[in-house]
A and B are shown apart, each in its own frame.
Chain A
Amino acid sequence: MKEAVILKTENLEVYFKQKKRIVKALDGIDIIVREGVTTSLAGESGCGKTTLARTILKFYEPQKGKIYFKGSDITKKSNEELLRKNIQIVFQNPFLSIDPRYTVFSILYEALGVYKKVNKKKAKSIIEKVLEDVGLDRDIIYRFSHQLSGGQLQRVCIARALINEPSLVILDEPTSSLDITTASKIIKMLKDLQVRLGISFLFISHNLRLLRKISDYAYIMYYGKIVEYGPAQSIYQNPKHPYTKLLLEASYYKLKYLKQEEISNEGCSFRPRCPNKTKACSQEVILKEIEPGHFVSCHLV
């Protein structure tokens, strides 16, 4: 059974200008996020994971391509409200994403007030409800960020993302700045919330072991391109692209030594680092379906 598509990007391209050269941060990205499940996006830092998240939220304007949310094109200005109301994000570092001079109440009240005109009394009950959802005590409502631990603060960020009842939440490494015990509690809570509220997640991380555990669909990204995607089980149990294999090897600390990385502008971008490259690899490479729903862009597969 396939879940309905909630978000879809089509040939998305984002370039950044550096002094003399142009960096292709996103180089023709097509992804599909499905409703009510978790889609994961993995890759090393600098591969464009976060750029993709930010482009979906229109923090960056794509040079090319379209983003559809439930069928409507949200790259259009007229659909701005649809985007803001329905897609929310949780960042990696909760200390940086919360104003230190705001109390938990004012943080959540501000977020709530964007779409709903509610009086403070009503707001308080809504806020208490959402705090309960994320497993926080209502006592903390008048505390400031410095009075909370990293885990509590990340829960506040999640509450802020959830308060307007979005249908898609982008989680950008939400647990990598947290302790292992805290991280596992947050992950558990997110899974519960998903089951209860039917929210879709786009989960970004470089921790493949974590992604393996929680995701239903997986995308592997390398230098602005998707190199492999499909059902998570199929990707993680049966990785085909050498880059996916390398990431998995690294996540079990088995990767010992790697050549200085370079980027190849022609043909397969992974070529310089690939252990089994051949002549064919200097040719342009496209995504091929090798199992139902499992796509790989590699000449050797």
Chain B
Amino acid sequence: MILDIKDLSVFYRSKKTYAKALDKVSFSLKEGEILGLVGESGSGKSTLSYSVLGLLPQDSKKEGQIIFDKENIFSLSPKKLEGLRADNIGLIFQDPAGTFNPVLSIGYQFREVLESKLKITGKDTVKKIIADSFDQVRLPDAERILKSYPHQLSGGQLQRVAIAIAISLKPRILIADEPTSSLDVTIESQIINLFKELKDKLNLTIIFITHNLDLVRALCDRVVVLYQGEVREINSTEEIFKNPQDNYTRELLVSLQELE
């Protein structure tokens, strides 16, 4: 058990009242598994990932516990939280173009991450780490890419760089928040297979957030179905598809059949 979420509720401040974003969410994450977090927009998928990273807004209200390494994330000091984000939990966002600063070169941004998070500055070490992680994500032509600016790369290349940066920190958990929904089909398929490869090679634990059940079937070991902030169903991918228990899960499966 690498991550254990117990009765997590999150409320966002809205003018005078609080809006409930998550409602008593509980599940746990096993080491080396890919867990799919499925739900439509507004179901609380992203809120959940921000909670795990301790990135919720200051004025939000939180209840329950998120236990990582026997410690509750909510009671960590800001400094420890920073450390947690540095090399324990990594995050990959949906829009790769929005992840990077458009006026800095890819190389600069990669080095900046290594310097600030891992305090690594030695030129050769940095070079080696970068080369290794580009290798892992199968990005050829590293020299050129490092000199490029974000707009000079395609969406698929940028997403690979984002993944390379995330895994260079050797995180124990990688949270991927809809990492392929802004990409083309052919690129999407390659990125999905890259995640599978990374899981096998590096024994990465991945939380894969998506609204695409189809992707879940192709990639995940277990699935958590979220609806309006509540967990509706947790089961192995096989069981969810073969034998859905919840009405909402069934509705999702019917929609999927409509579309393919």
Contacts and interface: CB of A to CB of B under 8 A. Distances in A.
Given A180-B213, A212-B260, A255-B189, 16 more contacts: A175-B259, A179-B40, A180-B211, A180-B255, A183-B255, A184-B258, A184-B259, A187-B258, A188-B258, A207-B259, A210-B259, A253-B219, A254-B189, A256-B193, A257-B138, A260-B141
25 contacts: A44-B185, A150-B41, A180-B40, A180-B211, A180-B252, A180-B259, A183-B255, A183-B259, A184-B255, A184-B258, A184-B259, A187-B258, A206-B185, A207-B185, A209-B260, A246-B186, A250-B186, A250-B188, A251-B189, A252-B218, A253-B218, A255-B186, A256-B193, A257-B193, A258-B190
A258 B193 CA distance: 12
Nearest to B258: A184
Contacts of B218: 252-253
A208 interface: yes
Interface string B246-260: 000001101110111
Given A45-B184, A150-B41, A181 B252 contact: yes
B81 interface: no
A249 B189 contact: yes
Interface residues of A, number: 33
Given A179-B40, A180-B259, A250-B188, A260 B193 contact: no
A44 B156 CA distance: 12
A243 to B, nearest CB: 10
A215 interface: no
A213 interface: yes
Contacts of A45: 184
B212 interface: yes
B189 A213 contact: no
A180 B256 contact: yes
Contacts of B214: 209, 253
Contacts of A251: 185, 189
A61 B254 CA distance: 43
